[in-house]
Amino acid sequence: MPEAVVDTTVLYAAAYPHDNRHAEGLKVVHGIDDGSLPEGIVLGYVLAETLNGLNERAGTRLADEFLTRLEENERFHLRHTNVGQFADAKAVFRRYENLSFVDSLIVAYMRDEGVDYLYSFDDDFDAVDVHRIEDGNPFEPEA
């Protein structure tokens, strides 16, 4: 099955109704849900960042509900970085000043695992060699 990494910006927007990109985030999450988009890879650090943000802004209940939603959905896959990817992330972090460390972990994971696409609203990724997309299915030919 085709897969794409999903960034915090998309997950948080989908879960938090007051986010200015809520509708766009929901569109991606629902697309993963219904199979019209690739299956979603969520790194452990991205999940932590998302849940921490939700917990701070919306409370524990919403954060817990979103965690349960991801856990129970067979089209979302929680993955963890390995030691080599973590080391590579440090190099990425030092090279690209606009990337957070979590963003650097995403880049290192994608490079190592050969994942080509990232759903993200964060244009800081445009400076590195990943294909950032905000919507649509990159595995379907253009009409």
Contact partners, residue 79, CB within 8 Å, separation at least 6 = 41, 42, 43, 44, 109
Predicted local confidence at residue 83, as pLDDT: 97
What's the mean pLDDT in 100-105?
98
Report in angstroms the alpha-carbon separations of 61 from 64, 67, 75, 114: 5, 10, 23, 35
pLDDT tens profile 28-53: 999 999 999 999 999 999 999 999 99
DSSP-derived secondary structure letter, 138 = T
**Does a structural domain hold residue 120?**
yes
Query: Is the model's pLDDT at 142 over the cut of 80?
Result: no
Q: 119 in helix, strand or coil? A: strand
- Full domain range(s) for residue 37: 3-132
**Does a structural domain hold residue 139?**
no
Number of structural domains, the chain?
1
**Does a structural domain hold residue 141?**
no
- Does the pTM of the predicted model rise above 0.85? yes
The CATH code of the domain that includes 91 is 3.40.50.1010
Q: Is residue 40 within 8 Å of 6, Cβ to Cβ?
A: yes
**Does a structural domain hold residue 142?**
no
pLDDT tens profile 114-133: 999 999 999 999 999 999 99
In this structure, are strands 76-79 and 3-6 parallel, antiparallel, or unpaired? unpaired
**Does a structural domain hold residue 92?**
yes
